[in-house]
Structures are given as C-alpha cells and as structure tokens.
Amino acid sequence: MKIIKLPAVLYKSLKKSRSAGKTIGFVPTMGALHAGHLSLIRQARKENSIVVVSIFVNPAQFGPKEDLKKYPRPLNKDLALCRKERVDFVFSPRPEEMYGEGFSTYVNVERLSETLCGKSRPGHFRGVATIVAKLLNIGQPDIIYLGQKDAQQAIIVKRMARDLNIPVKVKIMPTVRQRDGLALSSRNAYLDKKEKKDALVLSAALNLAKLFIKSGARDASRIINRMKRVVNKKKSSRIDYIAIVDTASLKPVRKISGECLIALAVRIGRTRLIDNIIVRA
C-alpha cells in the first residue's frame, strides 16, 4: 500500500494504472474509519483492480463554529485498517496542499445544497462538492463509492457528476448500523454512554415511520409529528429537522406515494447526528 501526500503524485501513479488497463475505485473519507467506511472499501475492492482511499478532514465543509479542530484523526489506525483491506493507495494530503494560497474556485450544486443539512450548515455542501470534484480530477476513478448514511451528500455528488460531465459512476452503499440500530459515524465517538443510548431515538423514529407507512399511513406531516414525539422523549435531544422528501429533488412530500427519503438531524447533547431511510409505499 502506498501512502501519498501530494495530488500530483497520486495523479501520476493512477495515470500509470489507467494506461495499464486497470480500473480504479475511489473511496473518499475523513478518516476515523469504522465498519461503514470498510463496507465501501470492500465493495471497491471487489469491483476494481485498484482501490484508492482518501483520508482528508476537509476544512471547506466545516462551518466556523463546527468541530474541524476536534474531529478525530487516528491516522495510524486508519492506515492499518486500509492495509488489512488491501487498499492500493491512501491519499492523505495536508490542507495547504488542497487549498493553496489564492484558492478561489468552488463547486456549488444549487437548490439540493440549500435544504435539509444545508439549512443549518450553510456552505457545507459547497465544501463537499468542491473537495469531491478535486478528488475526482486528481484520481479520475471509474467508480466512486459513497454511503447512504449521508444521503443528501450522495444525491449532490451524483448531480454534480452529471451536471459537470465528470465521467465517473457513483455507487451508493447501504448504511451500516450497530446491532441496536445506531448508524455508525465517526462523530459517535463524541457521545458518552448515556448519549449513546439516547442516540437510538434517530433510528427508532425512522423505524416507526417505516412501520406507519407499511400499515397505510400516507400523510407526511402526521408521520413527522409521530417521529418528533419519539425523538423528544429524550432530554438530551434537540431536533434540527425531520423531513420526508422526494429522493431526487429533495423537495418535501405531502402525500407519500412511490419512493421517498425520510431524513433527520438531531443534536444529542453537543453532537449533531444524522440518519435516514428510503421507503417505498
């Protein structure tokens, strides 16, 4: 496994692989790898001759009051995990390398970036789209692997690739959860023991919504209200949003028919957590 710090070095190495006819799978991450990340890496390993994992805590996607500084960075542990998964290249550039002096070009995926998480995290998806565009330009992979856990991010990256004619296939892998339902996230590390229990309200609310829809409920606002009640049962929780939206446009759905995305963001203590499911009525 090669560990690469410089964009130009990764570009050159992968150019060689490409001209040798090898296919490239790319898994972008911010590190602090867990089983969710590993599921993406394993899928990439199955489907490509070369697997690239980027580990980069992207400053451009953090707001001024967010957790950029304290975001976990267990690089050595991450590298060991990548080695075990037979990753070919780990790309872990320094921020100065990705955002050099005078950096001034950003990718903004309009509308899709302004709703749900984009409302409470202004500029977040601009940062995400920009770094993913940069990584795709540097790596030029055949397939990029993303997690359903960050549903809005996945939809935005798909839109960007289409809109900007970036020749990459975007594959979305299912959310990996603990046995108790909690979606794995690097930010779960911020939770204390009690908060970890309280955090189960996210998946519990989603499961309840799914059950309601299965038993015939179609009115989105009623389902959302029931979900709110579940989440508000915990003193430590504060709802950012609970929404039922169209899976393509992310616009709110009033009456559920066909496929919809049920998504929520909830603060448990000081930690903001997100989760979602796709439901077909």
Catalytic residues: 37
Which residue's CB comes closest to ligand AMP? Answer: 147
Restricting to residues 129-148, name those near ligand AMP by CB under 6 A.
146-147
Tell me how far, at minimum, the Cβ of 182 lies from ligand AMP, in Å.
9
Give Cα separations from 92 to 62, 84, 89, 123, 222 (angstroms): 18, 17, 10, 23, 45
Burial of 226 (0-12, 13-18, 19+ CB in 10 A): middle
Residue in 109, 160, 183, 274 binding ligand AMP, rule: CB under 6 A:
183
Displacement of CA 207 from its chain's centroid (Å)? 20
| Between 4 and 27, CB nearer to ligand AMP | 27
Tell me how far, at minimum, the Cβ of 154 lies from ligand AMP, in Å.
7
| Between 150 and 195, CB nearer to ligand AMP | 150
Give Cα separations from 252 to 89, 172, 243, 275 (angstroms): 40, 22, 7, 17
Burial of 218 (0-12, 13-18, 19+ CB in 10 A): middle
Cβ neighbour number for residue 41 with a 10 Å cutoff: 24
Restricting to residues 66-125, name those near ligand AMP by CB under 6 A.
none
Kindly determine how many residues on this chain lie close enough to bind ligand AMP according to the rule CB under 6 A: 17
Report CA torsion sign: 256, 179, 29, 43: negative
Contact range with ligand AMP by CB under 6 A, out of 62-70, 101-109, 169-177, 251-259: 169-177
Restricting to residues 12-71, name those near ligand AMP by CB under 6 A.
29-30, 36-37, 39-40
Q: Which of 243, 265, 266 is nearest to 256 (CA)?
A: 243
| Between 161 and 184, CB nearer to ligand AMP | 184
What does the DSSP assignment read for 182-247?
Answer: PBP-GGGGG--HHHHHHTHHHHHHHHHHHHHHHTT--BHHHHHHHHHHHHHTSTTEEEEEEEEEET
* 175 near ligand AMP (CB under 6 A): yes
What angle, 0 to 180 degrees and rounded to 10, lies between the N-to-C axes of helices 7-19 and 124-139? Answer: 50
Contact range with ligand AMP by CB under 6 A, out of 18-26, 178-186, 216-224, 234-242: 178-186
* 184 near ligand AMP (CB under 6 A): yes
Contact range with ligand AMP by CB under 6 A, out of 112-120, 179-187, 236-244, 247-255: 179-187
* 173 near ligand AMP (CB under 6 A): yes
| Between 142 and 150, CB nearer to ligand AMP | 150
Tell me how far, at minimum, the Cβ of 185 lies from ligand AMP, in Å.
5
The answer to whether 26 touches 43, Cβ cutoff 8 Å, is no
| Between 10 and 28, CB nearer to ligand AMP | 28
Cβ neighbour number for residue 96 with a 10 Å cutoff: 9
| Between 153 and 223, CB nearer to ligand AMP | 153
Binding site for ligand AMP (CB under 6 A): 29-30, 36-37, 39-40, 146-147, 149-150, 173, 175-176, 183-186
